[in-house]
Structure 1
Amino acid sequence: MSERHLGATARHIEVLDAIAGGADPLAAAQYVYLGRQPILDRDGALHAYELLFRAGAHNYAEVTDDAQATAQVVARAIGGIGVAAVLGQHRGFVNIDRALLFNDIVHVMPPERFVLEILETVKFDAPLARRVSELRRAGFQVALDDVSELSDELIAALPHADIVKIDFLQTERALLPKLASIVRGHGKTLIAEKVETREDFALARELGFDLFQGYFFARPQVLTAPRNRSPRPGLLRLLALLSRDAGIVELEAELKLNPSVVVQLLRLVNSSAFGLGRNIASLREAIIAAGTRQIARWAQLLLYAYSGDLPWRADPLVQLAGTRSRFMELAAARLRPNDDEFSDAAFMTGIFSLVHVVMGSTPDAVLEKLSLALPIREAVVSRRGALGMLLRLAEAAGEGADAASIAAASDAPAGFAAFTPEVLAELNLAAAAWFGAHSAEAAA
């Protein structure tokens, strides 16, 4: 990946220089940050941006988890700042690892605005080739990142890519002509990345590169915007409405009491992710366009994100809420494959099983004030019904206890015997992977 960043004309968005090193940590916590680096065409005109993870105003990445970093970049570009402010009319290249390629967070990005830039660490095998083909059929362009040599793996990957980025810092100059010629011969768009000097730019043009990226063209910048905060009681009421399939009128009334959620919802819908082809400003239209499942995801993540003083991904309550809810949703889908309502109810049960911790109360006291769907309430308060059994499984699995024996017990509802230790382990891993990919959405 190549390091570069962005400026913006949108109101309330401030561009910070790379030397902004002595920022107040408390003040910095009130903002979200995003980097971008311009990608130029042969005439020097702006063609696209690569979007880059930034934890603060300092202009370097500090990436410890590729999936987390990408999730934050996507969430901040779409929900935190807005696609129009970040990209204008151009596309955004987003670094993406193997786990994230197979995760549904990919589909939060509108394919006509985002290019999937596959990291050089990703092994290109048959399952990945099939997945990339699916994503290209869905409208995504795919770029291969940091290519520096002609290898069998590159040749195998070329049919599945649209763009190839060749690293000018890592590639031996003697190999560049042949490498560029072969890639161009496969009909791929060539990007010269990490171009640092005028000589490198001249060489890349001579070799027929289409696009260019590097410090020779622009210095790093960081984009920052105020972090949205949402009051927990309002989010809790919103989730309760969603859990009982409340109508649009009720949802609209509650959302009007949560302006920051409305802002993110409108940004999400106006990002073109929903194929509307037009911007909307009506809250009612936004609810219809996004759908209740997407609204529930955002509200849940926001609820737990602001439950304490710890950073999102370091907060154990956030981790527990995220993985438990997803575990229950996946388990419900395994139990009743064609019942989306049951899966949604399982996810919401996971959410509400921990809200008493957020609110500093008891489950009974918290849920008594909400018009919560009865099966969810009974599952949380007394562990009754199929949802209650799924919650017991999720709790046991999260604590490393013997969840399989609970599933195989005589009082377990029909179908639970299918939750063998192997299946439960698979669900646990999938839930953890989902949390890792999505956990940053609330931080944006």
Structure 2
Amino acid sequence: MSERHTAGTPVRRIEVRDFSAGAAAPGLTARFEQVAQFAQFVYLGRQPILDRAGALHAYELLYRTGAHNYAEVSDDAQATAQVVAHTLGGIGVPAVLGQHRGFVNIDRALLFNDIVHLMQPERFVLEILETVSFDAQLTRRLGELRRAGFQVALDDVSELTDELIGVLPYTDIVKIDFLQTGRAALAELAATVRGHGKTLLAEKVETREDFALARELGFDLFQGYFFARPQVLSASRSRSLRPGLLRLLALLSCDACIFELEAELKLNPSVVVQLLRLVNSSAFGLGRNIASLREAIIATGTRQIARWAQLLLYADSGDLPWRADPLVQLAGTRSRFMELAASWLRPADDEFADAAFMTGIFSLVHVVLGSTPGAVLEKLGLAPHIREAIVSGRGELGTLLRIAEVAGEGGDAASIAMAPAAPAGFAALTPDVLSELNLSAAAWFGAHVGDATV
């Protein structure tokens, strides 16, 4: 990412006022009350990206946990989820970006998740972290996202390699790190990238001499401390949204009508505020503000609301980071594993993948709420096939859940998939496939489930 991680960086904090009456969602259990001492604000960093004329072109959006102006990233997926959630719902796109684009750091796992489509392609650039490895599956995905309108930027490029040349056809912008790139190699690197028709962005530019050199070499965009240090934006934090989000996801899993969704949302003002911020943020390019809750639901669409609710559920974890909350970690990893497995079995069946994801999310809710699966799921009014999968292990989703449970414990999940009683097609979940899916799911929330320190 395009910033130095220096604790001594001076802070310029901009507070964005929240005029909402964000009432707390009811039903917090004792377990969450113990960790519900939330910080007063949510934070987001942004650093300007300028064009050759010195005009503001875009911002890079940066993960911040406080008013201090440096990143403390332990989980790339968590950091990106919070950046997107804070931009779309916590602060709002107009306050964060104005009329400009936002560059968002993104890892491999998030590139393959529907959450990426919460961001409007015309407003956000997907900045691929330098830790991401490219393969045929990833380049296909980048092709899909670019056809959907997204621009793709490569982050922290510092040398000319065969791999870089191989991935240039799947990218639009190349960010060359002026702190890491040797001056002797800079001209050839810039000429090669420019020769492939890509936009050149000079990042970590810290001196007038570097800026002059970048202009001379034909760079189009510029970013670094020579121009501006990151700003820190903040807005008031709402109480935990989890209980309301869980009920909302349950309704969405049942294909609830607009009136049912509207009635549930009215019981949770904090969730409503987030939804209206999302829609009014211009993230959907509606060209008008949304004045009513029903209009917001219609304009957004239930699938988009489900993506948004999943993102907020991931990002909202009280005082405990994701890695420090074993239940959040386990539920998230399991749900992602089930979604991936369902997509592997039925690549064209989005409804099956969505149902598998929700089965995983709700399979541990009874532990969080200190009750039994039957009691909790009955109150939530969950879709019958999802509830039966969790309570009694029935159907395809029930088999997928058993596979996810065993795979999560390192057991022989393939024997369940290949058993004579398994649903048709499940034998495709071979040990190699399950291993790959398990690794991908672990990458989604991070692998350190047992790290329970605050």
Query: Shorter-chain-normalised TM-score: which range?
Result: 0.7 to 0.9
- 1:47 aligns to 2:57 (yes or no): yes
Instruction: After TM superposition, give the deviation of residue 88 of structure 1 in Å.
Output: 0.7
SS in structure 1 opposite 2:152? strand
Q: Which amino acid letter does the alignment assign opposite residue 248 of structure 1? A: I
Q: How far apart, in 2, do the equivalents of 1:428 and 1:125 lie?
A: 18
Q: Which residue of 2 aligns with 1:378?
A: 388
> Unaligned 5+ residue runs, structure 1?
14-24, 440-444
Contact 1:300 / 1:351 at 8 angstroms: preserved in 2? no
Partner of 2:3: 3
Cα gap change, 1:377/1:179 in structure 2, threshold over 3 Å: closer, same or farther? closer
TM-score, normalised to structure 1, is 0.82
Aligned match for 1:315, one of 318, 325, 332? 325
Q: Give the partner amino acid of 1:114.
A: F
Q: Distance in 1 between matches of 2:241 and 2:190?
A: 54
Work out the percentage of aligned pairs sharing the same amino acid: 83
1:6–1:35 contact (8 Å) kept in structure 2: no
Query: Partners in 1 of 2:105 and 2:313 — Cα distance?
Result: 28
Distance in 2 between residues matched to 1:191 and 1:28, nearest whole Å: 38
Equivalent in 364, 367, 370 of residue 357 of structure 1: 367
User: In the alignment, what sits opposite 2:200?
Assistant: 190
Query: In 1, are the aligned partners of 2:118 and 2:304 still within 8 Å (CA)?
Result: no
Q: Which residue of 2 aligns with 1:283?
A: 293
The answer to whether residue 80 in structure 2 is matched with residue 70 in structure 1 is yes
Structure 1: how far apart are the matches of 2:61 and 2:405? 38
User: Quick check: 1:226 aligned with 2:232?
Assistant: no
2:305 maps to 295
Instruction: Determine the C-alpha separation between the residues in 2 that align with 1:42 and 1:7.
Output: 27
Which residue identity is paired with 1:397? Answer: A
Matched letter for residue 311 of structure 1: P
Distance 1:436 1:271 in 2: 30
Alignment correspondent of 2:172: 162
The 2-side partners of 1:48 and 1:95 are apart by: 14
Q: Contact 1:6–1:36 (CA<8 Å) still a contact in 2?
A: no
State the alpha-carbon separation in 1 of the partners of residues 374 and 50 from structure 2. Answer: 59
Q: 1:346 to 1:188 in 2, by over 3 A?
A: closer
Aligned residue for 1:242, secondary structure, equals: helix
Map of 1:330 onto structure 2: 340
Output the CA distance in 2 between the equivalents of 1:71 and 1:303.
10
With normalisation by structure 2, the TM-score equals 0.81
For residues 24-423 of structure 1, what are the structure 2 equivalents within 5 Å?
29-123=39-133, 127-230=137-240, 232-299=242-309, 310-336=320-346, 339-423=349-433
How far apart in 2 are the matches of 1:238 and 1:305? 16
Question: C-alpha distance in 2, partners of 1:128/1:327?
Answer: 18
Aligned residues: 427
Q: Do 2:262 and 2:293's aligned partners in 1 also have CA atoms closer than 8 Å?
A: yes
Shift of 1:193: 2.0
CA RMSD of aligned residues (A): 3.4
C-alpha spacing 1:377/1:102, structure 2 compared with 1 (3 Å):
closer
